[in-house]
Structure 1
Amino acid sequence: MGDEFRTTLELAAPASQSVDRELTVEVGWVLAGAFDEVDRRALALARARLAELVTAWFPGFCWRFPVVWRRELRATSPVEPVELLEAATDERDHGRWDFVLVVTAAALKSHYKPFALGAPSSALDAAVLSTQRLDPIVEDEQVEESERIEIIARRVTALAMHLLGHLNGLSHQDDPVDFMYDLKTAADLDRMHRLRDRERMEKALREVAAERLEETLAYRRPGLARKWGARLGFGLRVLGREWRNIWEAVREVEPWLFPLRFSRLTTAAFSAVLFLLLTAEVWELGMSQPPLRVALLALLILAITSLYVLQRQHLLRRHRWEVRFSEQRTVAGMAASMAVVLGMATTFVVIFCAVLLVSRLLFTFRLIAGWADLAPTWQHYLTFAGFVATLALVAGALGASFEQEVYFRHVLLIDEET
């Protein structure tokens, strides 16, 4: 990244006299690509209004809104949100910000909806928003320039507040005037002007504004992050401090929907199941295994396949612990790892139940007794289902490795398409 592509500005929200200077919240803005004069003026106005809004609502914090303009991030429309988010997190780490909002004039690619205005990622403490559908000339070409600027600024302010609410754990509201309303169109943003869950957001902000672990004296020593013992200790301390935030990020991902969202994983797993169910030797081998051995094998395969998927999809490649500690990146890595493990475990449970159901309904007692050379009991059926599900999970992991990396990361890192 050359210096000619990077412009940094600073905006500090006016703070009241009662502000605790230790409770500083920095929300960095990354402007990605090119913007016309109308967009630039509207974004400057939106930042100022957002600063006034949060300062009035949360006067106990010192707010800062630095801006970085990344002109080289010119993407063809539509652009993958996760690609912009990952570029923005580099700026977040560089500036030591608490949150980062990346703004683009390009349309965002949506995988679940007809279109997306924004996309938050609680795992990354980042969100992306697009100004393309916020411009009123999309619907009415007769709008004056001053009115365009006003409408875009109002909508960007509302959308930024909505995304910040998501990053601080707020849920959707049914009230269309609330900033956390589950909006459907850009016009919905025009009605938003209040925030119901201010107390909940303030509580979350106090945790965010607290000193991060890497800022403590224990982890400031140069070169400490290169030591395995220190990295392990740092990770364990982050887990102890941030387990609620990690779980919240995992919950937003909904890993229990893995079998539905990743078709290649599911197809590969159930193709293996069909083959295994029709093989007599598999029935004999599976039903002859001790239940404890099958259980231990299933746990081992779950760990191996989860690690394999994480490596193949490069979900940990952005973590640069060997350079310096980062609590935010550690939380993101733990959340992604936990989501993959839970997703693969869900796939195992689905396969296990399917094998158990099919084996009981379609395969007769006489047929199984002939194949397995024993009188099958419920324990044999359960053992066989676990054995087949374990083998099918390996096939599923191979299938998951062929999922498009950008889509896999989209599912793992983005909470929703707003």
Structure 2
Amino acid sequence: MKVDQLVGGDRYAVGVMRMEVEGRDSSAFENIVAKAVVALDQAFCREPRLTVRSMAFAGPHLTPGAGNYAPLDFLEIGLAEKIERDLPFLLIVTEVDLSSSSLAYTLALPSQLTNIAILSTRRLSPEFWGDRPDHDVAARRLTALMLHSFGHLVDLSHEVDRDNVMYSLEGVEDLDRMIELSDRQLDTIARVLPIEAREKSTRTHRVRFIARTLLGDAPAIMRAIRRANPLRLLSKMPTMLATALSVIVVLLFGAETWDVATAVSIPQIALFSVMCLAAAAFVLYRAFAFDALLSRDRRITQSSIVTTATTILCLLLTLLAMFVFFGALMYVVIISVFPHPLMESWPTNGAATTTLDHLKLSLFLAAMGVLAGSLGGRSDSRDLVRGVLFITEDT
């Protein structure tokens, strides 16, 4: 079944924003995008709920790194424009190469959490590969790439059929065949489109609106958290881990630290740990999250609430995983490395020899490590961390 056999109900806008950076061949770029927009509009012509809105964003001043541009720079611009232009979905098309953390190059980076996809036309033309220029071929490939990226925004999974628009493409030439959607995919789009659009907004009753959004979009938030994977996110923050471990080691060999084991209660340690986790999550959120944005008429949007909530929960779960890891590690170190006589004589408030004493000391060290690690974690790569949080995949 072809793409143009979609059917539907309410209307949702898919914005296509042309974002030219270097301006080397503006006419060719505009021509390719214009043709692709027409083809995308035709692909949606049997779906009354989907409309295509074409627009341009002139002159973003971005700096390339190692020849490529960071897609998250485009995403940050797109977040503001998506809210201001009231768009449920936004496809940003640029003419420059996009950097990738795992591939030699990337054609598109969809972000289901924000409903924004960044696409590059740089390698779509046969001219790039040494053949004759062909804007029609580039436009057809861009159309397929748009449909593929939009499929990710509405939670379609990859397919093994090379003719399907959701085929996990390996090279640019794969886009030439990717023109079809199955009946099952069309049913999925019809079912999830109102949910994935997250287009609601308000200027009043914000607390109630936030509560309703968090409850209604809880499955989408949980799905985004599973995709980001707190353990995977933790692996992208080596500076945070190193800082935390350094502070823990210093504290562990301080006699005063052992007084904590005998002087405080479990409720006090629990409260202290919660406060450290909350403070650390706030520090990392300010470092890595995109700011929650309001439109100029002060509307708060459903998508911004979902993005903010997912980011906070991802960071909090990452810190919780680090807290559990260091707590368990310190408990093992305490009972296996430190001799019993030292546990009796080192603390000034009495011996720290019981299992409960060791547990309290382990939790205290883990909490201090998390707090100190969050301060060091601000030096970790923003692009890597944000990539895990916000990017669905490298295409």
Match of 1:66 among 40, 43, 53: 53
Please state how far the C-alpha of 1:370 moved relative to its aligned partner: 3.5
Distance, in Å, in 1 between the alignment partners of 2:264 and 2:167 is: 54
Distance, in Å, in 1 between the alignment partners of 2:369 and 2:160 is: 42
Could you tell me whether the CA contact under 8 Å between 1:258 and 1:346 is conserved in 2?
no
1:403 paired to 2:392: no
Please state how far the C-alpha of 1:322 moved relative to its aligned partner: 8.2
Please state how far the C-alpha of 1:393 moved relative to its aligned partner: 0.8
Match of 1:92 among 70, 78, 82: 82
1:204-283 mapped onto 2 (5 Å cutoff): 204-208=192-196, 212-214=199-201, 219=202, 224-225=203-204, 230-283=205-258
Could you tell me whether the CA contact under 8 Å between 1:39 and 1:152 is conserved in 2?
no
Normalised by the length of structure 2, the TM-score is: 0.87
1:356 paired to 2:331: yes
Partner of 1:202: 190
Partner of 2:394: 417
Q: Assess, with a 3 A threshold, how the Cα gap between structure 1 residues 193 and 280 changes in structure 2: closer, same or farther.
A: same
Distance, in Å, in 1 between the alignment partners of 2:283 and 2:8 is: 48
Partner of 1:10: none
Deviates most, 36-45 or 342-351: 36-45
Partner of 2:131: 142
Distance, in Å, in 2 between the alignment partners of 1:213 and 1:99 is: 13
Deviates most, 332-341 or 407-416: 407-416
Segments of 5+ residues of structure 1 without an aligned counterpart are 1-12
Distance, in Å, in 1 between the alignment partners of 2:392 and 2:341 is: 50
Segments of 5+ residues of structure 2 without an aligned counterpart are none
Could you tell me whether the CA contact under 8 Å between 1:118 and 1:128 is conserved in 2?
yes
Please state how far the C-alpha of 1:313 moved relative to its aligned partner: 4.1
Partner of 1:156: 142
Distance, in Å, in 2 between the alignment partners of 1:40 and 1:300 is: 53
Q: Assess, with a 3 A threshold, how the Cα gap between structure 1 residues 267 and 44 changes in structure 2: closer, same or farther.
A: same
Please state how far the C-alpha of 1:395 moved relative to its aligned partner: 0.6
1:179-198 mapped onto 2 (5 Å cutoff): 179-196=165-182, 197-198=185-186
How many residues are treated as equivalent by the alignment?
383
Partner of 2:274: 299
Q: Assess, with a 3 A threshold, how the Cα gap between structure 1 residues 28 and 394 changes in structure 2: closer, same or farther.
A: same
Distance, in Å, in 2 between the alignment partners of 1:285 and 1:94 is: 52
Question: Per the alignment, in what secondary structure is the counterpart of residue 103 of structure 2?
Answer: coil
Please state how far the C-alpha of 1:317 moved relative to its aligned partner: 5.0
Q: Assess, with a 3 A threshold, how the Cα gap between structure 1 residues 288 and 207 changes in structure 2: closer, same or farther.
A: same
Could you tell me whether the CA contact under 8 Å between 1:313 and 1:405 is conserved in 2?
yes
Aligned-pair identity (%): 25
Distance, in Å, in 2 between the alignment partners of 1:365 and 1:173 is: 60
Counterpart amino acid of 1:129? L
Counterpart amino acid of 2:93? V
Could you tell me whether the CA contact under 8 Å between 2:233 and 2:385 is conserved in 1?
no
Could you tell me whether the CA contact under 8 Å between 1:258 and 1:343 is conserved in 2?
yes
1:35-114 mapped onto 2 (5 Å cutoff): 35-56=25-46, 59=47, 61-73=48-60, 75-77=62-64, 78-114=68-104
Residue-by-residue CA offset, 1:151-186 (whole Å, 9 max, x unaligned): 212221222122112111223334443332333322
Counterpart amino acid of 2:18? L
Question: Per the alignment, in what secondary structure is the counterpart of residue 67 of structure 1?
Answer: strand
Partner of 1:30: 17
Please state how far the C-alpha of 1:314 moved relative to its aligned partner: 5.7
Q: Assess, with a 3 A threshold, how the Cα gap between structure 1 residues 381 and 155 changes in structure 2: closer, same or farther.
A: farther
Partner of 1:120: 110
Could you tell me whether the CA contact under 8 Å between 1:246 and 1:331 is conserved in 2?
yes
1:328 paired to 2:303: yes
Residue-by-residue CA offset, 1:102-139 (whole Å, 9 max, x unaligned): 01111112223322211111221101011112222222
Could you tell me whether the CA contact under 8 Å between 2:90 and 2:116 is conserved in 1?
yes
Normalised by the length of structure 1, the TM-score is: 0.82
Could you tell me whether the CA contact under 8 Å between 1:76 and 1:106 is conserved in 2?
no
Please state how far the C-alpha of 1:32 moved relative to its aligned partner: 0.6
Could you tell me whether the CA contact under 8 Å between 2:233 and 2:388 is conserved in 1?
no
Distance, in Å, in 1 between the alignment partners of 2:230 and 2:298 is: 30
Please state how far the C-alpha of 1:345 moved relative to its aligned partner: 1.5
Deviates most, 89-98 or 406-415: 406-415
Question: Per the alignment, in what secondary structure is the counterpart of residue 392 of structure 2?
Answer: coil
Distance, in Å, in 2 between the alignment partners of 1:353 and 1:179 is: 47
